[in-house]
A and B are shown apart, each in its own frame.
Chain A
Amino acid sequence: MERSRDDFVIAIRSAFLKKGNKQRFSLLSLILFSIIFLILGNFNFKIINYNKAIIKEIIYFSSSIVTIPENIIKNSFNNTVNHFEYYAKYQETKKELQELKNKDLLKKIITFENIELKKLIDDYFVEDSQLYAKVLLDKESPFLRSIVINKGSKNDVKAGMIVYDDIYLVGKVVEVNYLTSRVLLVSDINSKVPVTVHPLNIEAIMTGYDMQKGKLQYVMGDKLINNNNKELIVVTSGSGGVFKSGIPIGKINTLNISDNSEIIVNFYKDFSQLKYIKILSHTKKIKKLDDLNETISKKNDDQFLEKKNPLKNIIINKKQNINNVLEQQNKIAEEVRKKLIKSYDELNRKFLNVQKKLEEQKNEIKKVQIENEDLEFLKLNLLYGHKCRKTFLKTNLYKISSSEYRVCVLNKGRTKKN
């Protein structure tokens, strides 16, 4: 026991105090040194703090140097990974760009077509003047929702001009001063904008409801509910001629609409955050000078020909008139014929449907009749079956499944027949 204790002490002493060939400090001295470090670290002496700071600076500096190779490897790896990610993204972006280009082309074609169609119905407007203005706050406004802008009659602003934020409708100019103007926002309760609800193509009047919302008037909720669209787009209809048609205003969430509830339009733009706005006025497109010249010259030529050969021209004119009348008559006759064919087809289809229904009903009646007969037979069978059933003693009667048996039962026995 004592010996093992001696061994332990020797081993410990050796471990603590033995210095190797190249050791300058024993373990014990270094452990004591560490403990002193720990104890001193708890005191807030200036010298200790100063020394601590120096040691820390040296260590941080060493750490930053040692970390350089690791950082180089890390960065290289990250760069490589990023490169591959960028490449993948580049490919995606390229694809998207191509798709967008295609869409853009399609959009351009549609826009062009739209312009042409609008020209046909004389509803094509061109931007007459365009101005950009800064929004100034207005707290003492007589209107609920209006803003004051820093452009006035000096900058050719006129009452009735339309105000945009980007491409979205903001309102219209209602008051013009020399340097400032007041814009009535579409969110104002006094603002009445004729709108069209797309894609249902329903006309309505939109009035202000909230800073971020408008309300549709003169349209029933059920018209908007019964469709598959979750969102409906509200744009200006152009009725009344104040706003040009097709200016986007907001959208309607059809899930929030019920039969009796108000139809709320959520504006695309936040009117409380307006900073810069665009003021535009639109005029109907004036025909180009060349076109005008052409028409004028054509008219002059016709007049000249008329003066030269009056009789011939009269005959030609008459012929032309007759032709025109005939053409119109043909057109009308063709339309009438088409309508008649259409209505005939429809009536024919209706007739066939009715006939089909009639046959179905007849079949049902037959079925019911058969069922009633069967029921009657079963009832009578219970009461008079014994009078008709063939047995060992009554051999002159009928078998149960035979038609004679059925007739017998329905006649309430054989005697009735006789």
Chain B
Amino acid sequence: MASTNNKIKYFLYRHTPIILLFTSILNETDFNNLGTKYFSFNFAYILIFYYNLKRENGFGYIYIFIAGLFNDVIIGTPMGLSSLCYLLLCTAAAYLRNITLRPSLIKDWIFFLLTILVLNFVTFTYLIVFFNHEINYFDQMINITFTFLLYVIFAYLFNAYDKITLGKFN
């Protein structure tokens, strides 16, 4: 009985981020476009960065790649763009994990800001140069700001969730 419980908890610990990622991408409710003018954030960025930073194996690059493809199809951006951004985010997180000896939330937070700025730069450049997309920079600035600000809150939440699910394993 105890081992079954542990198995369930381990399953949740391991797969919740993937489920969350796919649910957030496939659901109709998109945090990137909540319908309010002054509030939106990129939940996928926070999720991917946090779990790739905290777990050595992340939650599987291939899943992230597929999630990126799904996101592109659903929001209508060129296929591969979100995958590229997610994977670059994973790279940044992996790099930070490799160079960090003493983890600090503030440092992670600042690095996250730099990373999302670079990623958005890549996205906007690609969309503008190759596809002549019109981008509302004000909305994007709001999105980046809230993604950055909410990272800390979500980091605490994910950490708390990990502690609950992992419990004894930790």
Contacts and interface: CB of A to CB of B under 8 A. Distances in A.
Contacts of A66: 22-23, 26-27
B117 interface: no
Contact of A55 (B73, B81, B95): B73
Nearest to B56: A20
A11 interface: yes
Interface in A1-59: 7-8, 10-12, 14-16, 18, 20-27, 30-31, 33-38, 41-42, 52, 55-56, 59
A10 B95 CA distance: 9
Q: Which interface class (under 10, 10 to 19, 20 to 34, 35 or more) fits A?
A: 35 or more
Interface string B113-141: 00000000000001000100000000000
B87 interface: yes
Contact of B73 (A16, A35, A60): A60
B67 to A, nearest CB: 11
Given A38-B78, A38-B126, A66-B23, A27 B69 contact: no
A418 interface: no
Interface string B74-99: 10001111011001101100110111
A308 B162 CA distance: 122
Nearest to B70: A59
A113 to B, nearest CB: 59
A63 interface: yes
Nearest to A15: B94
B1 to A, nearest CB: 28
Interface in B5-41: 22-23, 26-29
A70 interface: yes
A66 to B, nearest CB: 4
Contacts of A228: none
Interface string B47-85: 000000000111011101100111001100011110110
A30 B69 CA distance: 12
Contacts of B98: 10-11, 14-15
A33 B61 CA distance: 12
Contacts of B57: 20-23
A30 B64 CA distance: 10
A15 B91 contact: yes
B79 A41 contact: yes
A22 B69 contact: no
A361 interface: no
A13 to B, nearest CB: 9
B61 A37 contact: no
Contacts of B90: 27
Contacts of A24: 62
Contacts of B65: 25, 30, 33-34
A71 interface: yes
B132 to A, nearest CB: 13
A139 B166 CA distance: 88
A303 interface: no
A67 interface: yes
A394 to B, nearest CB: 96
B62 A41 contact: no
Contacts of A60: 73
A10 B79 CA distance: 31
A62 B98 CA distance: 36
A25 B95 contact: no
Contacts of A33: 65, 83
Nearest to A28: B91
A30 B86 CA distance: 10
A25 B58 CA distance: 13
A39 to B, nearest CB: 8
B165 to A, nearest CB: 18
A128 B61 CA distance: 89
B17 to A, nearest CB: 14
Given A38-B79, A59-B74, A22 B60 contact: yes
Nearest to B74: A63
16 contacts: A11-B98, A14-B98, A20-B57, A23-B61, A30-B62, A30-B65, A31-B88, A34-B68, A34-B87, A37-B69, A37-B83, A42-B78, A42-B130, A55-B69, A67-B27, A71-B28
Given A25-B61, A41-B80, 14 more contacts: A8-B99, A10-B98, A14-B98, A15-B98, A30-B62, A30-B83, A31-B84, A31-B91, A34-B65, A34-B68, A34-B80, A34-B83, A34-B84, A41-B78
